[in-house]
């Protein structure tokens, strides 16, 4: 499927048309810049992967500075966008700045909110949650689910070990409490 014929959906009420299937660069390219799921590929392999995704019709990309130099790599193709607001800056200040940029026609309107959302991350729902889903419905904003497979916990690949079979090179075992020590066995 070429980029021109890939199915498109509106990203929220006022958002741009994007490919129905997005590439979450935490899953897709975080592993391109750190030993998340095994060895780090060489630059030519990274570019070939991104070229293939684009040629397959992906026009919806998601990344963050958490993924090492992933943003720098894809930045050669795409202008950066706000992924995770700076926690040291009040969200009201961030949103005011985005509104000013929108009014100056420098950016498109905010069209989507990304949240961790999976069977293991339902904090955005209901009475005990943050009510992010309700707010997004009210404001006609799209939800972009981060980590929909529970950082790999909901995949058979992870249950059997890791994608590479090497726990010492899988960042999940080092950084995510759900996967460290005896927690992995309790969560599977």
CA atoms within 13 A on the CB side of 95: 7
What are the residues whose beta carbons fall under 8 Å from the beta carbon of 93, sequence distance 6 or more? none
> pTM for the full model?
0.44
- 56/34: higher pLDDT: 56
What's residue 153's pLDDT? 64
pLDDT digits (tens, 9 = 90+) for 15-26: 778 888 776 654
- Tokens representing residue 153 in the block: 């916990």
How many degrees, rounded to 5, is the angle at CA 126 between CA 113 and CA 128?
A: 105
Evaluate the CA torsion angle 79, 30, 125, 149 in order and state its sign.
positive
What's residue 80's pLDDT? 41
pLDDT digits (tens, 9 = 90+) for 104-152: 887 778 787 777 777 777 777 767 666 778 878 887 888 888 777 776 6
Contact between 46 and 71 (Cβ < 8 Å): no
- Tokens representing residue 104 in the block: 């100056």
Strand pairing category for 8-10 and 17-19: antiparallel
What's residue 30's pLDDT? 54
């Amino acid at each position: 499927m070429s980029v021109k014929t890939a199915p498109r959906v509106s990203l929220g009420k006022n958002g741009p048309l994007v490919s129905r299937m997005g590439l979450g660069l935490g899953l897709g390219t975080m592993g391109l810049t750190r030993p998340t799921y095994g060895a780090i590929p060489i630059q030519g392999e990274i570019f070939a992967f991104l070229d293939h995704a684009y040629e397959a019709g992906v026009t919806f990309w998601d990344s963050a500075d958490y993924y090492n130099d992933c943003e720098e790599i894809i930045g050669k193709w795409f202008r950066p966008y706000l992924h995770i607001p700076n926690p040291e800056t009040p969200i009201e200040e961030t949103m005011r700045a985005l509104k000013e940029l929108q009014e100056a026609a420098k950016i498109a309107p905010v069209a989507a909110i990304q949240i961790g959302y999976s069977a293991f991350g339902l904090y955005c729902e209901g009475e005990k949650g943050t009510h992010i889903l309700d707010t997004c419905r009210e404001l006609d904003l799209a939800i972009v689910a981060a980590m929909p497979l529970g950082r790999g916990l909901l995949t058979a690949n992870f249950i059997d070990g890791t994608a590479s079979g090497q726990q010492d090179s899988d960042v999940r075992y080092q950084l995510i409490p759900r996967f460290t020590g005896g927690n992995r066995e309790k969560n599977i």
